[in-house]
Structure 1
Amino acid sequence: MKNKLGISAVIIIIVAGVWYAIDQSRQVNIPDNNINQESAEVQSPAETVFSYEGREGVDAMTLLKEKYAVETEEFGEGLGEFVTKIEGQGYLANEFWGFFVNGETANVGASNYITKDGDIIEWKIEKIGDY
């Protein structure tokens, strides 16, 4: 019993260390606010939406990578790829790239969502806990 407890503690420490290392290695790329010279509107990078139409039988991640420059992190079988940047735009530590289908938060990962003709796929930066 004592040996199992020790092994469990070591595993927890290793997992926490890996998570911390991944979190520290992410480079957040926040572009300067773009100012439209004609109307002087400030566009926040957090309001950026990347969207595309679904294509029958093709998963949303494949279509995202066809249309945009995308960086991902692989978290293994069952968890799949996690989008870290789209067109060079990253997110803050308390944010993530949210994946939406037809205006609704997707209930599966982008690699597992097989799109249909007419689907509207959107990616927006979301705050953790706000969805």
Structure 2
Amino acid sequence: MRLNPRTLLLAAVAGIAVVLFGIAVLGDGAKEDSPSDAGAGLLRGTIAVNFEGAGTPHAPISQPFAVEPGSSAFDALTQSLGESKIAYQDFGGDLGYQILGFDGVTLSGNQFWEFRVNGVSSEIGVSGYKVMEGDALEFRVATF
């Protein structure tokens, strides 16, 4: 039995159309469910808390964070460590939050939690600083 070349061409085109349609439908669905796309657009970095000098022994904390663009360092801190692990006071308005302690460790006298960004003491408070991709946010005991 000999097939007509026109019939073969039509069958090939129809087959390709079905395959492309299947790829388009299944490909989009697979992309939406892909774990590699989870959290796309989030800013990522690390939060570290150094307890050296606090007077209460505690292992250092180091946790990753992933927050929406425009988020403050305080947002990253609460997302990473959980609000229940942070003692703070809200002074409202432009003054924002003062960090008082971490994981039950608070400071006294002339000690405070210094907020550092990428290894440098920040001139902006934890509630005013807007997180950037790759930031290393650190809190360490300091004195005045």
Q: Same fold (TM over 0.5)?
A: yes
Q: Find the residue that maps to 2:116 and give its secondary structure.
A: strand
Corresponding position of 1:95? 111
Percent identity, aligned pairs only, is 24
The size of the alignment, in residue pairs, is 87
* Paired AA for residue 91 in structure 2: F
Relative to the length of structure 1, the TM-score reads 0.56
Corresponding position of 1:86? 102
- Runs of 4+ in structure 1 off by over 2 angstroms are 47-57
Query: 1:99–1:123: 8 Å Cα contact kept in structure 2?
Result: yes
Corresponding position of 1:106? 122
Query: 2:63–2:80: 8 Å Cα contact kept in structure 1?
Result: no
Picking from 75, 89, 100, the partner of 1:62 is 75
Query: 1:54–1:116: 8 Å Cα contact kept in structure 2?
Result: no
**Offset of 1:78 from its aligned partner?**
2.5
Query: 1:98–1:123: 8 Å Cα contact kept in structure 2?
Result: yes
- Where structure 2 has 5 or more consecutive residues not aligned to the other structure, the ranges are 1-53
- Where structure 1 has 5 or more consecutive residues not aligned to the other structure, the ranges are 1-28, 34-44
Deviation sequence 1:13-44 (CA, Å, 0-9, x none): xxxxxxxxxxxxxxxx953x3xxxxxxxxxxx
Distance 1:95 1:57 in 2: 30
State the structure with bigger RCO (CA 8 A, min sep 6), 1 or 2. Answer: 1
Q: How well do the aligned residues superpose, as a CA RMSD in angstroms?
A: 2.4
Corresponding position of 1:74? 90
Matched, 1:121 2:98: no
Relative to the length of structure 2, the TM-score reads 0.52
